[in-house]
Amino acid sequence: MTTYWCEHAQLPDRMHRGVRVVVEGGRITEVTSETKPGDGDVRLRGLVLPGFANAHSHAFHRMLRGRTHADGGNFWSWRDQMYAVTSRLTPDTYFALARGVFVEMVAAGYTVVGEFHYLHHQPGGKPYDDPNAMGEALIAAAAEAGIRITLLDTCYLTGGLSADGHLPLDEVQTRFSDGSVQAWAERVEALRDSDLVRIGAAAHSVRALTGEQLAEFATVVGDRPVHAHVSEQIAENLATQMVYGASPVEHLTDAGMLGERFTAVHATHLSEDDLELMGRSGAGACFCPTTERDLADGIGPGCELAERGVPLSLGSDQHAVIDPFEEIRGIEMHERLKSHERGRFPLSGLLEMATANGYRSLGWDGGRIAVGSLADFVAIRTDSRRTGGVALGQAVFAATGADVTDVVVAGRRVLSGGVHPLGPVDDVVAESIEAVRRSS
Give 30-75 as a DSSP string: EEE-S-PPPTTPEEEEEEEEEPEEEEEE-GGGGGGTT-SSTT---H
Burial 128-148 (b: 16+ CB within 10 A, else e): eeebbbbbbbbbbbbbebbbb
CA distances to 32, 101, 132, 280 from 188, in Å: 42, 24, 8, 30
Of 178, 274, 317, 406, which residue is the catalytic one?
A: 317
Residue 437 CA to residue 433 CA, distance in Å, equals 6
Judged against a pLDDT cut of 70, whether residue 79 lies above it is answered with no
Judged against a pLDDT cut of 70, whether residue 75 lies above it is answered with no
What pLDDT band is residue 142 in, cutting at 50, 70 and 90? very high
What pLDDT band is residue 365 in, cutting at 50, 70 and 90? very high
What average pLDDT does the chain have?
95
% of the chain surpassing 70 pLDDT: 96
% of the chain surpassing 90 pLDDT: 92
Residue 346 CA to residue 332 CA, distance in Å, equals 9
Burial 395-419 (b: 16+ CB within 10 A, else e): bbbbbbbbbbbbbbbbbebbbeeee
Residue 374: predicted pLDDT: 98
On whether the CB atoms of residues 289 and 302 are closer than 8 A, the answer is no
pLDDT in tens, 393-431: 999 999 999 999 999 999 999 999 999 999 999 999 999
- Residue 317 is a catalytic residue: yes
Residues 6 or more apart whose CB falls under 8 angstroms from that of 157 comprise 169, 177, 178, 179, 180, 181, 184, 208, 209, 210, 213
Query: Who wins on pLDDT, 406 or 77?
Result: 406
Residue 70: predicted pLDDT: 66
What pLDDT band is residue 73 in, cutting at 50, 70 and 90? low
Give the pTM.
0.96
Judged against a pLDDT cut of 90, whether residue 439 lies above it is answered with no
Q: Sign of the C-alpha dihedral, residues 41, 45, 46, 49?
A: negative
Q: How far apart are the first and last CA of the chain?
A: 47
Domains observed in the chain: 2-49+371-426 (2.30.40.10), 51-361 (3.20.20.140)
Residue 213 CA to residue 415 CA, distance in Å, equals 43
Residue 69: predicted pLDDT: 64
Residue 45 burial class via C-beta count within 10 angstroms: exposed 0-12, middle 13-18, buried 19 and up = middle
Residue 405: predicted pLDDT: 98
The pairing of strands 262-266 and 2-10 is unpaired
What pLDDT band is residue 300 in, cutting at 50, 70 and 90? very high
Residue 136 CA to residue 151 CA, distance in Å, equals 9
User: For 40-46, what is the mean pLDDT?
Assistant: 97
Judged against a pLDDT cut of 80, whether residue 206 lies above it is answered with yes
Of 16, 56, 121, 266, which residue is the catalytic one?
A: 266
Rg (CA), the chain: 21
Residue 85: predicted pLDDT: 75
Give 263's strand partners: 227, 284
Judged against a pLDDT cut of 70, whether residue 389 lies above it is answered with yes
Residue 17: predicted pLDDT: 97
> What 3-state DSSP class applies to 27?
strand
CA distances to 6, 28, 379 from 3, in Å: 10, 10, 15
On whether the CB atoms of residues 61 and 68 are closer than 8 A, the answer is no
Q: Give, as one character, the DSSP assignment of residue 374.
A: B
- Residue 266 is a catalytic residue: yes
Residue 438: predicted pLDDT: 85
Residues 6 or more apart whose CB falls under 8 angstroms from that of 389 comprise none
The pairing of strands 15-24 and 27-32 is antiparallel
Residue 285: predicted pLDDT: 98
Residue 46: predicted pLDDT: 98
Judged against a pLDDT cut of 70, whether residue 78 lies above it is answered with no
Query: Who wins on pLDDT, 392 or 64?
Result: 392
User: For 207-213, what is the mean pLDDT?
Assistant: 98
Residue 71: predicted pLDDT: 67
Task: List the one residue out of 171, 148, 130 whose CA is nearest residue 51.
Answer: 148
Residue 322 CA to residue 316 CA, distance in Å, equals 6
Task: List the one residue out of 250, 260, 275 whose CA is nearest residue 225.
Answer: 260
User: For 345-367, what is the mean pLDDT?
Assistant: 98
